[in-house]
Amino acid sequence: MDTASSAALELVACSKRFQRAGQPVWALKAVTVHVARGRVTGLLGPDGAGKTTLMRLAASLLHPDQGEVRVLGLNSRTQGAQIHQQIGYMPQRFGLYEELTVQENLDLYAALQGLDRTQQRLRQEELLTLTALGPFGARRAGQLSGGMKQKLGLACALLRAPALLLLDEPTVGVDPISRRELWHIILGLRQQGLSVLVSTAYLDEAERCDDLLLLHEGRLLTQAPHPVMTAPLQGCCFRVTHPEQSRRALQAQLRQRMGVLDATIQADGVRVVCQEPRALTQPPEQWTLVAPRFEDAFVARLTQAQRSASTSSVHPAPSAPVSNPLAPQPAFSPEVVIEVQALVRRFGAFEAVKGISFTVLRGQIFGLLGANGAGKTTTFHMLCGLLSPTSGTLRVAGEPLGRAAAQVRQHLGYVSQKFSLYGHLSVQQNLAFFSSLYGLRGPQKKARMRWALEEFELAPFAQANSQDLPLGYKQRLALACALMHEPLILFLDEPTSGVDPLARREFWNRINQLADAGVTVMITTHFMEEAEYCDQLVLMSLGEILAQGTPHSVRALAARPDQEHLSMEEAFITLIQQHESPLRRAS
Amino acid sequence: MIVTPRLRALVRKEFLQILRDPSALAIAFVLPVFLLFLFGYGVSLDAHHLPVAVVVEQPTQETNEFVAGLSQSTYFQPQVYTQLAAARKALMQHQVQGILWLRSDFTRALWQQRSAPLGILVNGVDANTARLLQGYLQGVWQTWIQQQALRTGQVLRLPVTLQNRIWFNPALRSRNYLVPGLIAVIMTLIGALLTALVVAREWERGTMEALMATPASLLELLLGKLIPYFLLGMGGMALSVLMALVLFAVPLQGSLVLLMLASALFLLVALGMGLLISTVARNQFVAGQIAIIVTFLPAFILSGFIFDIGSMPEPIQILTHLVAARYFVTLLQCLFLAGNVPAVLLTNAGALLLMALLFFGLTWRHSRKRLD
């Protein structure tokens, strides 16, 4: 092997352009990357950063407009066929045929990759053991859970023992347990000498990679191993607690404080990243030094990148104080806003929700957590009146849903996962449409629209089509549309998946302020760290409630005596495994 | 043919998908049967039991005989009125399709050998039925007069004596040309629409991306789509031919082998169109729309399957030369109804061959093992 081919993947000043709405958009801008052999390299960045484009360049499925791509020493433009002989590639939706069984999918890819019969048998056995899919050979791929699909997709990409494995967002939409299993497999492969490039939007996965590539808006921000990235923040990260104040109030205070780069709620305190390596303690706060995480480094980098880029309109400093969007109601009685009792929903023979009960008080942020298929979305749809329960009672805003569904919906705001915006309408038109939909007219409508444009800093984009907005702005607009009629209850279904960490922080600020103003917020999320922002949460699994209470009490439920600082994700995995393992084995 | 293990695996995969996906099976087998039943039984361009009003202002023996003659014909369902006004009202209310008016001087005029004292009023809203009705009524009238002449030994004067000979479809059954023409529509559905849809589905689900990153060659990928849908299309055509011959008793004058060959050729054109569409359309909605507009609808409207090309305006007639189904419909109608006519078969098959080469050439040029 000559020295030129010592890299698994090399991009030299690569740029890639696409046409969108007749205008060229640069997906990648002069990106130079060196991925070493025998290591796991993580490709990180928010949605739209160019991760998938880079993956496809590496798989020789796209050619760069400028620059050169060398995969295992081969030129992607001229030696695509040889490259395809040596790589394993798993695209975003795993590339599986849903109508085919697990075994048939494996057979197909084995034949496509040119394995002979004996090789095929041995390798398949090996992979079925590795992925624990052995018992499911005859099951159709379409009937597998997200986590099992992901493992099957991985097995298909690994059949011919590739020299370079490319995984494009393998953990999107997959629950924490399956994510953990996948990483276990990937790290095992590295020991066999495989080079792996894996893209992900989950920042915590970065800590498992040997090297990191950080993409933002088509540019490479940094390439470095994890410790190198976090080194500058050594001594700058703290956990802050306050004996009296609530975490939310404390966080709101800290993020305004001079010299603080980032403040997020974590466990029983607030995690703070400072510009300088020194604590900015104000008694009676307690500041404890903690080790920097990759996310701290990422946020610090992004903040710097945005400050240096003079187009500061993209993300105004997240600390801009936000006025109360609703009539201020400083003190309100703890009335029950949502009451759910013995709620059941069946789809044919399948019981999606198995008799759950909970209550939500006014002004609470209430989280609904669970793995795929836990029944979160079904519950959500019933609460919004989009789906009628099979049995059980459901009272929203004091009214039994069902008879008065239309009236009750007047008090609800809903932001769906896909944001439900009209892409070809401008920001202004979207706002006007949604306010008319909720029956606003005349001066009232005008006032609310003016409020939305100011409050969400959308005025500069008022005439832009909503489909052309960056994801973070789409999210703001969707939230604004859902708030036009000043709802009492706001439903948010996975509102932060895919948006970058800065936009996510800003989003949570707004949510906190809404809750302080007396709006009840129901939220589902995949990001376990976001569960910490909730006042109350419900952890669901297979249609049942596993745990219920404050984040603190849910964590305490899972912790063994020797575990002091259990993260929400660890608690989640422990609780779900305890509950599901007998069932998983049985299926 | 280069049958590699890869190609075999791709073809096998495609068949498994077809067998397990209800929507593909529906397009391949249920829709053809549905269309055949619809056009075989439901749509008929013949006149059968048409309700007509017969106005008899002065009943005589002759008028009674005439009406009785009408009743016996399978074409008409006469209803007798004594006044024209009542019959007109029935026509207005769509109770009858036409009016036959036997004036009070019918019998007298008949024997005095004056010109035909018969009034015919036809509802012209449905032009096709109107023309049929007009023709049939005149035919009935002529026959009746001749019969009268034979029986009474008198010579009755007729303006002209027509001798009709109907070639190729003596019974004038519209089924006999609709059902063969349908085969073209069915094969367009399977070859172009279904093929474009299944390729688009692979794009949508991300499986195409995974296939392209494997060592499978472009030729293998294309043949992996072509072979299964070719076989499926030939299956659909065999089903249609069988139904045409057995169920609808359509005569097959030409050779079955030539019919198979012509169908295979047309199927290649349809598959070429389907694959070409799939190089541009990467989601099922767009693929379906394009396939319906550029392949299915022309095969229906501009192929001469239902609507006679000769009676279309000149520019449209020129346009029909671009429609592959046009040549195939001609081939089908020729083979079923006329027999092996070399001049017709060769020119139309030649046109299909050219189109097949064109579409495959374009598909090959536009396909790349890449995503952009």
Encode pLDDT of A192-245 as tens digits: 889 999 998 788 888 889 999 988 888 898 888 888 888 888 888 999 988 888
SS3 B26: helix
d(CA A56, CA A59): 5
Chain B residues with CB-CB distance to A under 8 A? Answer: 5-6, 8-10, 12-13, 16-17, 20-21, 205-207, 209-217, 369-372
Q: Does A37 touch chain B (CB under 8 A)?
A: no
Where a domain ends, among A186, A202, A229?
A229
What is the spatial distance between Cα B232 and Cα A586, in angstroms, rounded to a whole number? 41
* A80/B369 CB distance under 8 A: yes
- In angstroms, the first-to-last Cα distance of chain B is 29
| Whole-prediction pTM | 0.79
Which residues lie across from A19 on neighbouring strands?
Answer: A24
Quick one: residue A28, left, alpha or beta (phi over 0 = left, psi -120 to 50 = alpha)?
Answer: beta
Please list every residue in chain B whose beta carbon sits closer than 8 Å to the beta carbon of residue A98: 205
Per DSSP bridges, beta strands A40-44 and A286-289 are unpaired
CA distance A98 to A152: 11
- Asked, for residue A152, whether it belongs to a domain, the answer is yes
C-alpha separations of B76 from A361, B79, B98 in Å: 78, 9, 10
Q: For residues A437 and A440, what is the distance between their CA atoms, to the nearest angstrom?
A: 7
Instruction: Give the Cα separation of B15 and B4 in Å (integer).
Output: 17
DSSP string, A111-163: HHTT--HHHHHHHHHHHHHHHT-GGGTTSBGGGS-HHHHHHHHHHHHHTT--S
CA-closest candidate to residue B240, choices B192, B189, B278: B189
Q: Please, what are the domains in chain B?
A: 5-43+173-366 (no CATH), 50-152 (3.40.1710.10)
Q: Which of A84, A95, A166 sits opposite B207 (nearest CB)?
A: A95
B205–A98 CB contact, under 8 Å: yes
Look at residue B104 in the predicted model and tell me its pLDDT.
76
CA–CA distance, B27 with B196 (Å, rounded to integer): 12
Which residues of chain A does B17 touch, with a Cβ-Cβ cutoff of 8 Å? 97, 99-100
**Shared domain check, A238 and A225:** no
Q: The domain containing residue A201 runs over which residues? A: 3-229
More reliable by pLDDT, B117 or A364: A364
A156 has a chain B CB within 8 A of its CB: yes
Percent of all residues in chain A with a pLDDT value above 70, rounded to a whole number: 91
CATH code of the domain in which A364 resides: 3.40.50.300
Tell me what pLDDT residue A431 has: 92
Partners of A92 on chain B (C-beta within 8 Å) are 206
- Asked if A19 and A168 sit in the same domain, the reply is yes
> In terms of domains, do A107 and A245 share one?
no
In a domain, residue A65? The reply is yes
pLDDT tens, per residue, chain B with 372 residues: 567 889 999 999 999 999 988 888 888 888 888 888 887 777 666 667 778 888 888 888 878 888 887 888 777 888 888 888 888 888 888 788 888 888 777 777 766 665 556 777 777 766 667 777 777 777 777 777 777 777 776 665 554 445 555 565 666 567 777 888 888 888 888 889 989 998 999 988 889 999 998 988 889 999 999 999 999 989 888 988 998 889 888 888 889 999 999 999 999 999 999 999 988 888 899 999 999 999 989 988 888 888 878 788 888 888 888 899 999 999 998 898 888 888 889 999 999 999 999 999 999 988 887 777
What stretch of H or E contains A525?
Answer: none
Which residue in A557, A558, A553, A560 sits closest to A573, CA to CA? Answer: A558
- pLDDT reported for residue B231: 92
Give the Cα separation of A296 and A273 in Å (integer).
7
Query: Mean pLDDT over residues A417-433, rounded?
Result: 86
Q: Which residue of A has its CA nearest to B221?
A: A112
H helices within A192-327, ranges in order? Answer: 226-230, 247-254, 294-308
B285 exposed, middle or buried (CB, 10 Å; 0-12, 13-18, 19+)? exposed
Give the span between the Cα atoms of A471 and A268, in whole angstroms. Answer: 31
Between helix B256-280 and helix B175-188 the angle, nearest 10°, is: 40
Residues A49 and A183 in one domain: yes
| Cβ–Cβ < 8 Å for B64, B40 | no
CB pair distance less than 8 Å for B215 and A113: yes
> Same structural domain for residues A128 and A32?
yes
Which amino acid type is present at position B292?
Answer: I
Q: Tell me how far apart the alpha carbons of residues A573 and A578 are, in angstroms, rounded to a whole number.
A: 8
Q: Are residue A170 and residue A245 in the same domain, yes or no?
A: no
Please list every residue in chain B whose beta carbon sits closer than 8 Å to the beta carbon of residue A85: 215
Closest residue on chain A to B5 (Cα):
A111
Domain contains A274: yes
B9, A56: Cβ pair inside 8 Å?
no
Among A207-211, A367-371, A494-498, A570-574, the range of highest mean pLDDT: A207-211
Across chain A, mean pLDDT equals: 84
CA atoms within 13 A on the CB side of B93: 8
Neighbouring residues of A425: CB distance < 8 A, sequence distance ≥ 6: A433, A465, A466
- Which comes out higher in pLDDT, residue B336 or A317? B336
Domain membership of residue A429 (yes or no) is: no
Q: Give the residue on B whose Cα is nearest the Cα of A61.
A: B370
> Quick check: helix, strand or coil at residue B189?
helix
**Nearest residue, CB atoms, A91 vs list B20, B209, B216:** B209
Considering only CB atoms, A95 lies closest to which of B8, B10, B209, namely: B209
Q: Is B118 exposed, middle or buried (0-12, 13-18, 19+ CB in 10 A)?
A: middle
Contact B51, B45 (CB under 8 A): no
pLDDT for residue A428: 92
- In a shared domain, residues A342 and A209: no
Q: Rounded distance, CA B329 to CA B1, Å?
A: 30
Residue B322 parent element (H or E): none
* Residues on chain A touching B9 (C-beta within 8 angstroms): 107-108, 111-112
Nearest to B278 by CA among B198, B213, B220: B198
As a whole number of angstroms, the distance between CA A331 and CA A190 comes to 57
Q: Are A61 and B209 inside 8 Å of each other by CB? A: yes
A78 in any annotated domain = yes
Measure the CA–CA gap between A358 and A376, rounded to whole angstroms.
13
Residue A68, chain B, CB below 8 Å: the answer is no
Strands A412-415 and A286-289: unpaired
Structure tokens at A144: 């597998």
Tokens of A242: 């306050």
- DSSP state letter for A465: B
The answer to whether the Cα torsion of A51, A56, A62, A66 is positive or negative is positive
Q: Specify whether A208 is located in the same domain as A240.
A: no
How far away is chain B from the Cα of A187, in angstroms, using its nearest Cα?
23
Do A223 and A282 reside in the same domain of the chain? no
Q: Residue A509's closest CA among A240, A246, A306, A319? A: A319
Phi-psi region of B274 (alpha: psi -120 to 50; beta: other; left: phi over 0): alpha
Residue A109 lies in a domain: yes
Kindly state the DSSP code that residue B125 receives in the 8-state scheme.
S
Q: Using the beta-carbon criterion (under 8 Å), do B5 and A114 form an inter-chain contact?
A: yes
Report if residue A571 sits inside a domain: no
- Note whether A211 and A180 are same-domain residues: yes
Of A254-258, A319-323, A451-455, B107-111, the one with minimum mean pLDDT is A319-323
Which residues from B are below 8 Å from A86, CB to CB?
A: none
pLDDT at residue A3, as a whole number: 44
- Position A101 in a domain: yes
Interface of A with B in 5-24 (CB under 8 A): 18
pLDDT surpasses 80 at A419: no
* pLDDT tens digits for range A144-161: 877 888 889 999 999 988
Which of A63, A97, A116 has the most B C-beta neighbours within 10 Å, making it the best mutation to test the interface with B?
A97
Domain count, chain A: 3
Task: Based on the fold, state whether residues A401 and A528 are members of the same structural domain.
Answer: yes
Render pLDDT for A46-61 as a digit per residue (tens, 0 to 9).
Answer: 777 888 899 999 999 9
- Return the closest-CA partner of residue A535 out of A241, A242, A249, A177: A249
What interhelical angle do A294-308 and A501-516 show, nearest 10? 100
- Domain identity same for A223 and A133: yes
Among residues A503, A171, A534, A531, the alpha carbon closest in space to that of A370 is found at A531
